[in-house]
Amino acid sequence: MWSPGQRSRRKTDLARENQASRRSTLRALTWMLKTRPNRVSEVKKSMRVDEVMQQMVWDTFPEESLADAAARMRDHGVGSLAVIDDDRLVGILTERDVLRAVAENRPSNVTPVSALMTRLPVVISPGTDTATAARLMVEHDIRHLPVVADQKVIGMISARDLLVLEASV
């Protein structure tokens, strides 16, 4: 049998071993990622955004009601709408914005898209590699990137598009 003091020391020793094991695992993973890029990430780097993006871009305008914009998202099975004003991208409306409106009890039939849209969204160019697109999404905590060429939205790439790419390789 273990005395109370021995049990306490044993728990401390086990905790130290566990912590050391986690540190060593993290070091090994970091080394692996730096020295052995896998085949999937190599393939993804060679793919360009315009090869993966959705070319059909659904849009809305700043004065449209949130209810109408959300219905369009539902009808077309998309998670975001480009917000266009005077042929310019002025924002993006996503399912997160719609969820926020519901959580804040905003009346969706009178709340304009402009009240909830993300202004000046992060955008990407069509020739950019998909690994950069994924990195941008992670860095900015977003799931949709408008693809812009010559100041015009020509597509939309989502985190789902990148997951499909990953799964197909």
Residue 113 has pLDDT above 70, yes or no: yes
User: If 0-12 CB within 10 Å is exposed, 13-18 middle and 19+ buried, where does residue 130 land?
Assistant: buried
What is the C-alpha to C-alpha distance for residues 61 and 59, in angstroms, rounded to an integer? Answer: 7
What is the C-alpha to C-alpha distance for residues 161 and 77, in angstroms, rounded to an integer? Answer: 14
Read off the pLDDT of residues 21-68 as tens digits, 9 standing for 90 and up.
Answer: 545 544 544 554 455 455 445 544 578 999 999 999 999 999 999 999
Read off the pLDDT of residues 62-101 as tens digits, 9 standing for 90 and up.
Answer: 999 999 999 999 999 999 999 999 989 999 999 999 999 9
Cα–Cα distances in angstroms (integers) from residue 164 to residues 10, 53, 102, in the given order:
47, 11, 30
The predicted structure's pLDDT at residue 54: 93
What is the C-alpha to C-alpha distance for residues 165 and 149, in angstroms, rounded to an integer? Answer: 22
Residue 128 has pLDDT above 70, yes or no: yes
- In the chain, the amino acid numbered 91 is G
The predicted structure's pLDDT at residue 111: 95
